[in-house]
Amino acid sequence: MTQVPKVIGFICDWSVDLKPLSDGGRLRELPNVRVVQVPCSGFVRPDWLEEALNRGADGVFVTGCPYGDCLNREGNFLMRDRIDQLQRRLQRRKVDTARIGMLAFGLHDGAAFLAEVKAFVDRIAVLPPAQPARTAGRPAVAQPAGTPEGERT
Amino acid sequence: MSTVVERQTPGRYARLMTTLLRETLRLDVWVNRLYPTDFNPLYYTGGLSNLFLFTLVLSGIFLFFYYDASLGEAFASVQYITDRVPYGGIVRGVHRYAADGFIVAILLHLLRNWFTDRHLFARDNPWISGMFLLLFGGFIGFTGYQLVWDERAQLLTSMFVAMLRSIPAFGATLTRLFIGGLGISDGTLVRILFLHIGPATALYAFLWWHYVRLRHPKIWPPGVWVLFCVGLVFLLAGVVPMTRETIPAAAPAAHPTSFPMDVFFLIPFWLLNFLPAGVVVLLLVALFVGGLAIPYASRRETPVEMGVRHSGVAQVIDGNCTGCELCYYDCPYNAIVMVPSPGPGLSKAAANRSLLAVVIESRCVECGICIGACPFEALELPKFLERDVLRQVAEALRPGSGQAVRA
């Protein structure tokens, strides 16, 4: 892959301090990483991660507070579970699970956060390019994660 | 912190609280280097308090069976527990040191939740019940020292009576109620025993209030911390036994003037060295009322003043709600209830619903966890819609927007 992968990160307001790290919605050190700030990592709907991949992002990740210290008590744990489910679901569609990540960093963990994001981007960069324009269509999210692939719309 | 709304010149209190928040989280970074985040004891101060309380209740029940609440027998029965009952001295030590641990844990819990803003807006119920837990906890510690009925207890009682008397209008009545008559008698110790155990029972009522708005409260710390804390308490009870303080029994003729200090429970009595009793009472009342007012009286009362995102209370989109209960299970504050559906929804998935989600506005902290839980697009934060998020995503992925840098 010759191109720097496009990555979108959903970042909780209360987790890592973005002020010194970001500039106009992207990380200063990794301009290919765009950030969307959300009120809590648990706010992110797994659909949106899928949507971002469908629209051409090479990877998406969510950043919450350290596990055990979510401002809203459970947001990061819930998000971790939802991302696990999403990874299992997308794996059956031959999407590499490395493209979706869950990170957990506190206010002062800026350096560790950047290192982790870099590692995430590097993991994606070596993947073969994703099939462009997967037939979008809203995923049949109503179905439980165990539903066989054939029954999906 | 996000600065969705730029605040204008924050007050001194706001700046102080921001500093405290940052320093608290900086401390976490250090602790997290020692322990994985799952075991960071500062994330489990509430669970640790509950663990110490549980230890106190169990050891207290043991002690209760041997204690004799009368002036002549109280001290002797405590001596009997310490010297003659198998492991009695250890259990007494456990009761004492677990109480110290309890106070330390609840103070850490209070400060941490204060500094990290976890007491504000819809989350004031745990704060208010927590202030009552602190008040009752401190009072139980004080009556515990009296139950031993040594010279310290005698002096504490007279100091406490002096504090009660200094209360205008009700002082004499309160004193009579407390000591059970005009002078100290057997009835006094019975009352003190009740005032030790009664409020301890009330702690569980306040704990119910403390937990009632929380789904899945972290009631216990991780297993290793349970073992560590219980082990530490037992170790202290064995290594530093209770007999090291040899305070003679209380006697009507004795007029003690000093006693070994305990920094965990007896600070108000230490203040009596410098201040008149009335002032100490006033100080305690002011501390308690001030504590109750903390979530409301500060200048950073609104999210806008605090400079944090204000997304609005989550709203259910009636037509899309299928009554699947996913948001109900995930809401960390029990702010979503399921009610019988008044009619079918509009979308295909919602056509056969029997339940409808309803957000209780006074409990909602606007975190948006229910939005992430809902796969049917039936919940929205009014000031941060799904549309806004997807627009940001689309903008980020527009060809050419992120492509300035190439490998």
Report CB contact under 8 Å: B37, A67: yes
Report CB contact under 8 Å: A32, B402: yes
β-pair partners for A103? A63
Domain range summary for chain A, segments of one domain joined by +: 7-129
ipTM of this model?
A: 0.83
Q: Is the pLDDT at A2 greater than 80, yes or no?
A: no
For the ranges A13-17, B109-113, B118-122, the maximum mean pLDDT occurs at B109-113
The pLDDT tens digits for B356-389 are 999 999 999 888 999 999 999 999 999 999 999 9
CATH number belonging to the domain at B12-297, selected among 3.40.50.300, 3.40.1180.10, 3.90.1200.10, 1.20.810.10: 1.20.810.10
Closest residue in B to A41 (Cα–Cα): B369
d(CA A34, CA A4): 13
What whole-number percentage of chain B has pLDDT above 90? 50
Which residues between 69 and 128 in chain A have a beta carbon less than 8 angstroms from any beta carbon of chain B? 69, 71-75, 78-79, 82, 104, 106-109, 125
d(CA A130, CA A53): 9
Which tokens in the block code for residue A135? Answer: 């037939």
Mean pLDDT of the region A119-137: 74
**Mind giving me the DSSP string for A5-70?**
PPEEEEEETTSS--TTTEETTEESS-TTEEEEEES-GGG--HHHHHHHHHTT-SEEEEEESPTT--
pLDDT of residue B407: 34
Report CB contact under 8 Å: B402, A74: no
The helix (H) or strand (E) run that includes residue B305 is helix B303-306
Q: Is the pLDDT at B318 greater than 50, yes or no?
A: yes
pLDDT of residue B103: 94
For B246, counting Cβ atoms within 10 Å of its Cβ (0-12 exposed, 13-18 middle, 19+ buried), the class is: exposed
Chain A residues near residue B407 by CB distance under 8 angstroms: 2-4, 125
pLDDT of residue B301: 60
* B1-5, B96-100, B250-254, B327-331, range with the lowest pLDDT: B1-5
Report CB contact under 8 Å: B372, A79: yes
Closest residue in B to A25 (Cα–Cα): B396
Tell which residue, B262, B406, B37, has the closest CA to residue A104.
Answer: B37
The pLDDT tens digits for A11-69 are 998 888 888 888 878 888 888 899 999 999 999 999 999 989 988 889 999 999 998 88
d(CA B124, CA B117): 11
The b-or-e profile of B216-241 (16+ CB within 10 A means b, else e) is ebbeebbeebbeebbeebbebbeeee
The domain made up of A7-129 has a fold known as: Rossmann fold (3.40.50)
Chain A residues near residue B327 by CB distance under 8 angstroms: none
Is A37 an 8 Å CB contact of chain B? yes
The CA angle B310-B314-B316, to the nearest 5 degrees, is 155
Is B20 an 8 Å CB contact of chain A? no
d(CA B111, CA B113): 6
Confidence tier at B183 by pLDDT (50, 70, 90): confident
* Helix, strand and coil in chain B, % to nearest 5: 60, 5, 35
CA distance B304 to chain A (A): 14
CATH number of the structural domain B315-397: 3.30.70.20
What is the CB neighbour count within 10 angstroms for residue A45? 23
Closest residue in B to A27 (Cα–Cα): B402
Residue B254 CA from chain centroid, whole number: 39
d(CA A131, CA A134): 6
The torsion of the CA quartet B310, B312, B317, B323, rounded to 10 degrees, works out to 90
Report CB contact under 8 Å: B37, A51: no
Chain B residues near residue A129 by CB distance under 8 angstroms: none
CA distance B48 to chain A (A): 14
Report CB contact under 8 Å: B367, A56: no
The pLDDT tens digits for B250-271 are 777 777 777 777 888 888 888 8
Mean model confidence pLDDT for chain B? 87
Closest residue in A to B118 (Cα–Cα): A71
Domain range summary for chain B, segments of one domain joined by +: 12-297, 315-397
pLDDT of residue B9: 59
β-pair partners for B315? B380
